[in-house]
């Protein structure tokens, strides 16, 4: 009997034959899968390139090239507002569908977000289930109210004036990478409000010392893209390469985790002193709120607190500094915008060395229009916001296995998404969509109806129930810093800072193609 079996298997017994068999099986699988995806899949009627429907590989190549936003936009231009970009992934550009997916049905996030784990653990952004996210969000939501953030204005103003002092001392004699400088400003601001801690990132910049925390924050999105695009074994191989810069990128998560862990220990010590009868501050940091927050009558674990704080540190620092850099680039090439901003700011800030309360800045029409146009074109996170069609999308108590997306039936498990990049460039909503035109947001220029439609399409901080919790902090700092810079400096771009160098790349968040934004800040002559 054994001899008979050996005879049957003998043709497959050599390594060469085994290799041929494996290749043949792979070839057959690829062909069968392609036929299924193109002819029999429930998604086969949705427009899109055939090679995208067959495999995720094509889209992944654009993700790795940091150009996913642009290729999706090209697909919309070619195929219309609904496009199939993968065997199980559909992207759309439609305001009604956007509301249904993100606000009405509140679909859970896709597994893609797990590539953004901090300290190998979930935080609010990577919590896929809507219900679990709601519980998590309650722990930090009160920290980001306008009233609470206003309590941290002394630190915001102090650090911004420190930035002004740095730029004045340089005197505009040479261009500097403001992408790095603004990131270190935001690291200090976020650490002040999140941990009641002076991170000293701006101080490191003035001494030309590398700030490890700021570098780690900058590296984290790229680390996430690599982790999501390559298998785990390949990621481990990359991180084993003995290259200092590569190791720094791989360790970015670890560097941030160590910093936040130290802040947790310090805050717990302060809480212990409070319980011992010492005076306590009326102002609560984000970290303290999380340490005192309870989910289902249980405190958050230190592991969860650390991961949550890391998520806020990354989101609050890197995104705002990028948008701020692009806004300064616009100031360097638009004298007309600078003149209008200064006219408004000079009236609101007679003493340009003093920054007014945020309530004053929030009432300046042209400053607000300038920022909104910045959010539209240079919102730091314009990428796909992936969600998963659940098994039930009907009314309460009514089962429905298919989700109707603009006339196409999508089965449960289908990944659906839209992106701010495309919503912000819809020509019927934003005429001349690639032009930076703050005036379009002014009530004296645009009708109330058109302004309403524009605001509905604006999703620079996400949309629906998972909208960015820290957007108020970003808006505080953008108003404060733009006001300070426009009032005190003339921004000049050297020849190396051009359309080509500032061309946007995306790794969920955007950054310039050159990875830098070199600008000079000449003190203004009053």
pLDDT tens, the chain, 526 aa long? 555 545 544 554 577 777 777 777 876 767 877 787 878 789 999 999 999 999 999 999 998 888 999 999 999 999 999 999 999 999 999 999 999 999 999 999 999 898 888 888 999 999 999 999 999 999 999 999 999 999 999 999 999 999 999 999 999 889 999 999 999 999 999 999 999 998 999 998 888 777 888 888 888 877 877 777 777 888 788 888 888 888 888 888 889 999 999 999 999 888 887 765 555 566 889 999 999 999 888 899 999 999 999 999 988 888 999 999 999 999 999 999 999 999 999 999 988 778 999 999 999 999 999 999 999 999 999 999 999 999 875 555 444 678 999 999 999 999 999 999 999 999 999 999 999 999 999 999 999 999 999 999 999 999 999 999 999 999 999 999 999 999 999 999 999 999 999 999 988 889 999 999 999 999 998 6
Q: What is the 3-state secondary structure (H, E, C) of 155-200?
A: HHHHHHHHHHHHHHHHCCCCCEEHHHHHHHHHHHHHHHHHHCCCCC
CA distance 48 to 94: 17
CA distance 324 to 88: 36
What fold characterizes domain 118-384+419-523? Cytochrome p450 (1.10.630)
Whole-number Cα distances in Å, 314 to 54, 220, 288, 302, 319: 35, 8, 18, 18, 8
CA distance 238 to 249: 10
CB-based contact 101:114 (threshold 8 Å): no
CA distance 292 to 120: 23
Helix (H) or strand (E) holding 90: strand 89-92
pTM confidence score: 0.89
Determine whether the annotation assigns residue 69 to a binding site: no
């Amino acid at each position: 009997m054994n001899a008979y079996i050996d005879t049957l298997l003998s043709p497959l017994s050599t390594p060469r034959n085994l290799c041929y068999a494996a290749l043949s099986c792979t070839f057959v699988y690829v062909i069968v899968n392609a036929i299924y995806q193109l002819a029999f899949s429930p998604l086969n009627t949705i427009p899109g390139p055939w090679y995208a429907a067959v495999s995720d590989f094509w889209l992944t190549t654009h993700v790795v090239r940091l150009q996913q936003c642009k290729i999706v936009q090209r697909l919309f231009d070619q195929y219309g507002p609904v496009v199939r970009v993968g065997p199980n992934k559909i992207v759309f550009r439609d305001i009604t569908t956007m509301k249904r997916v993100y606000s009405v049905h509140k679909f859970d996030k896709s597994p893609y977000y797990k590539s953004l784990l901090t300290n190998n653990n979930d935080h609010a952004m990577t919590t896929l289930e809507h219900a679990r996210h709601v519980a998590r969000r309650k722990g930090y939501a009160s920290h980001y109210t306008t009233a609470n953030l206003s309590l941290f204005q002394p630190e915001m103003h102090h650090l911004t004036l420190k930035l002004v002092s740095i730029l004045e001392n340089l005197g505009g004699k040479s261009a500097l990478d403001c992408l790095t400088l603004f990131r270190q400003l935001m690291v200090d601001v976020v650490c002040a409000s999140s941990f009641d801690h002076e991170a000293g990132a701006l101080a490191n910049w003035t001494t030309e010392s590398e700030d490890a925390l700021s570098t780690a924050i900058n590296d984290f999105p790229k680390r996430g893209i690599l982790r999501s695009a390559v298998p785990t074994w390949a990621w481990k191989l990359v991180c084993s390469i003995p290259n200092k810069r590569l190791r720094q990128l791989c360790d970015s998560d670890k560097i941030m985790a160590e910093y936040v862990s130290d802040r947790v220990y310090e805050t717990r010590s302060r809480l212990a002193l409070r319980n011992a009868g010492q005076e306590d501050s009326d102002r609560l940091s984000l970290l303290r709120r999380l340490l005192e927050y309870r989910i289902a009558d249980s405190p958050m674990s230190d592991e969860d607190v650390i991961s949550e704080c890391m998520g806020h540190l990354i989101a609050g620092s890197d995104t705002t500094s990028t948008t701020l850099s692009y806004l300064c680039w616009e100031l360097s090439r638009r004298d007309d915008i600078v003149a209008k901003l200064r006219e408004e700011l000079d009236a609101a800030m007679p003493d340009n060395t003093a920054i007014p309360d945020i309530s004053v800045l929030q009432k300046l029409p042209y400053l607000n229009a300038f920022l909104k146009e910045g959010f539209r074109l240079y919102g730091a996170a314009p990428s796909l916001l992936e969600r998963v069609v659940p098994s039930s999308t009907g009314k309460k108590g009514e089962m429905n296995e298919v989700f109707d997306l603009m006339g196409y039936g999508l089965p449960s498990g289908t990944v659906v998404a839209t992106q701010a990049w495309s919503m912000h460039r819809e020509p019927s909503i934003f005429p001349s969509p690639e032009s930076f035109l703050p005036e379009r947001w002014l009530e004296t220029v645009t009708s109330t109806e058109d302004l309403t439609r524009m605001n509905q399409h604006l999703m620079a901080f996400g949309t629906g129930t998972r909208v960015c919790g820290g957007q108020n902090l970003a808006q505080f700092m953008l108003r404060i810093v733009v006001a300070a810079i426009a009032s005190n400096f003339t921004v000049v771009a050297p020849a190396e800072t051009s359309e080509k160098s500032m061309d946007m790349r995306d790794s969920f968040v955007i950054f310039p193609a050159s990875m830098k934004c070199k600008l000079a800040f000449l003190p203004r002559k009053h």
